[in-house]
Amino acid sequence: MPVRDDVIHISMRGRELAGTLISPAPRMPAVLMVHGWGGSQRQYRANAHKVAALGCVCLTFDLTGHVATASQRDTVSREENLHDMLAAYDFLAAHPLVERDSIAVVGSSYGGYLAALLTERRPVCWLGLRAPAIYRDDDWSVPKRLLARVQKLGDYRGQPIEANDNRALRACSRFTGDVLIVESEHDEIVPSPVLASYRKACTETHSLTYRVIRGADHSLSDEASREAYSSILVHWLEEMMLGARGQVRAAAAKVRGSDKQETPLRRAGQS
């Protein structure tokens, strides 16, 4: 089991004794959850509670332009929202209980697009994408709410897109962790060609899990669709994290076994 050392000072009769407190250092996986355009962190809270019950630290938050900052909705850009993601990630990674090498990022729609971009800037172990949106690389500083019209996204999303031609897809093509992609069967905002482009881009991943929620629309407007997604997400994260913990236990056992082999046997009377 890993341990940590903390320098301490023990007060005694007007003076202090220097010491080191050595204790187990359990660290937990962490999950950063980001909503889509027009949504809020509230949409992920129920799932966050389920995931936290697996033994994780979860963080949900509201992107700029939503809820308390809704007044900025008409002006906020993708660049600003990506900075939101980076700030949220850094806050989560700095938590004393978080294992920095075991962070998952889960995003829906616009949040999925931002999550893919985040992997270029921060270490991510697991990437969950539900109906991930896609945008042209141009107009990076243009307000997000104008992109559908400015970029003619209906046409853009209706055709296959190569990884080299899109920043989010390029990020996915370089990602080496585990990926979950979830598609809604009747999604008219992020249609099937977009999901196919994301799947095709994930060529270097450790694993790729793809699921389709039958009868679901983009926003998962009915309870059955929401429950289906929740089940998919929680079970996938559980599988990923149990696998990671198993690898840690196997590595620790290997080290213990190596230590036993290298320890010389002592004969009676030797010291």
pLDDT of residue 27: 81
Q: Return d(Cα 116, Cα 86) in angstroms, integer.
A: 12
Q: Angle at which helices 42-52 and 223-262 pack, to 10 degrees?
A: 40
pLDDT of residue 12: 65
pLDDT tens column, 142-152: 999 999 999 99
pLDDT of residue 258: 47
pLDDT of residue 247: 60
Q: Which residues contact 153 (CB under 8 A, 6 or more apart)?
A: 135, 136, 147
R_g (Cα) of the chain, nearest Å: 23
Q: Residue 46 — φ and ψ, nearest 5°?
A: -60, -45
98-108 and 178-184 strand pairing: unpaired
Q: Return d(Cα 113, Cα 271) in angstroms, integer.
A: 64
**Alpha-carbon dihedral of residues 128, 131, 137, 138, nearest 10 degrees?**
-140
pLDDT of residue 24: 62
Can you read off the two tokens belonging to residue 146? 């104008």
222 to 189, 214, 225, 227, 228: CA distances (angstroms): 17, 12, 6, 9, 10
Those residues of the chain that have pLDDT short of 50 are: 248, 251-252, 255-256, 258-271
Q: Return d(Cα 152, Cα 76) in angstroms, integer.
A: 19
Q: Which residues contact 170 (CB under 8 A, 6 or more apart)?
A: 163, 164, 201
28-34 and 207-213 strand pairing: unpaired
Domains present along the chain, CATH in parentheses: 27-239 (3.40.50.1820)
Can you read off the two tokens belonging to residue 172? 């996915």
**Among 40, 89, 91, 92, residue whose Cα is nearest residue 63:** 40
Q: Return d(Cα 144, Cα 81) in angstroms, integer.
A: 9
Contact 167, 136 (CB under 8 A): no
pLDDT tens column, 178-226: 999 999 999 999 999 999 999 999 999 999 999 999 999 999 999 999 9
46 to 50, 70, 164, 223: CA distances (angstroms): 7, 23, 36, 13
pLDDT of residue 96: 84
pLDDT of residue 266: 35
Can you read off the two tokens belonging to residue 265? 């046997």
**Among 220, 227, 257, 239, residue whose Cα is nearest residue 179:** 239
pLDDT of residue 197: 98
Residue with tokens 């660049």: 79
